[in-house]
Chain A
């Protein structure tokens, strides 16, 4: 009996020591996005996580983009279990809403800007900390995500430049914008992470800056051409096709070539099927006039031939083409 009790006690000690380790291991192995925000009472205590399928969709809001929601506790902490995310890294958006707002609310700019972008996948273990500022996501730091720290550098760089530019004279604004563009293109060129690099490209307002920096944007496409994902392809669509790929150019060329050959072949086949090949050279000339609705007299005058000759040609044309009237000839067009 004593032996049994002793064994039980040993077993309990063993299990007791083991269970916390198992739990710890489980918690360490599961993916999460967690964080802390300093919010005032105007904000609702729910935070939403949305998937952003391309960088063109960064500022798109709809309910079907929202993947999950989590409570923000009274101290400002939140936690998302993200085991369900894809294996590949994707772009996501966290957002909060004002108490009276619908969950699908996006506020861009101003003191109530309500969202933050980050990169994650099903293995992510991310903790972000928001400084007590307005807007709540203005200054975010990451404790254990170098890729998001790098991503955030771009966000803050743009935000800072925007802020300075919005308070600057036109001349100073140009300098600030030029410097920002240079910095962003440098990041795009040197970052080892595709989504970070692409983020810099998008923030550089490539739509209006492509003309003066086409080499940089083309270099980006070339550098990451093996990326087979919507982020890459959606950006590539914005770039003039001559730069996207030589294969594309050749494909376009061959398409046009095949279309031209096909058209000629069709025309020939069509003409042959009508029996035009049976007409003599002179008859073909007369045929063209007939199709244009010319009278025998007009044809006679044009070719300087007798009316009887015209009639002979016309009769021959009718016979060879198996038609009965001028109307049938015109309808052959």
Chain B
């Protein structure tokens, strides 16, 4: 799985330091409101079958959490599952191409969810590809009081 290095680094840093925005420190990422963080992560898949898991750390007491996942596959199959810190599945979908398709085809799947006062802890986005070629974009927006 080829995770775009720059995006990953920024996302990883930001995901683990949510208090940066809370403290009102200037940041290099887009600010939707005074204490909001907008994170973007892009993952490229190239005939991939290795499952991956992305952790989204939500601090207890955050006001809201918006999650958008955009996927596109041109080959293979891709399943996405979202779990809250209580391990309850909060959403899932699968996009797949026809195995015997003679020509290129695109299949898209998007998931958009929002929570007010989300459960604090590690939210997981499970990525389960099967010979998948395509792209995943994960956008998160968190806001504090």
Contacts and interface: CB of A to CB of B under 8 A. Distances in A.
Given A102-B106, A208-B89, A108 B94 contact: no
A108 B116 contact: no
Closest A-B pairs by Cβ, 8 of them: A110-B112, A59-B93, A109-B112, A105-B108, A104-B107, A62-B96, A102-B106, A60-B94
Interface residues of B, number: 29
Interface string B82-118: 0000111101111111100100011111111111110
A62 B107 contact: yes
Q: Specify which of A62, A102, A105, A173 lies most central, judged by the most chain B CB atoms within 10 Å of its CB.
A: A62
B96 A61 contact: yes
A243 to B, nearest CB: 21
A110 B66 CA distance: 11
B117 A106 contact: no
Contact of B101 (A61, A63, A173, A208): A63
B119 interface: yes
Contacts of A57: 94
A294 to B, nearest CB: 48
B106 A104 contact: yes
Contacts, number: 84
A199 B88 CA distance: 19
Contact of B88 (A105, A166, A208): A208
A168 interface: yes
B119 A170 contact: yes
Given A63-B105, A207-B89, A166 B115 contact: yes
Given A61-B94, A61-B96, A63-B105, A205 B89 contact: yes
A205 B88 contact: yes
A184 to B, nearest CB: 15
A72 B110 CA distance: 23
Interface in A158-173: 166-170, 173
Given A166-B113, A167-B116, A168-B116, A59 B94 contact: yes
A166 B109 contact: no
Contact of A107 (B87, B106, B110): B110
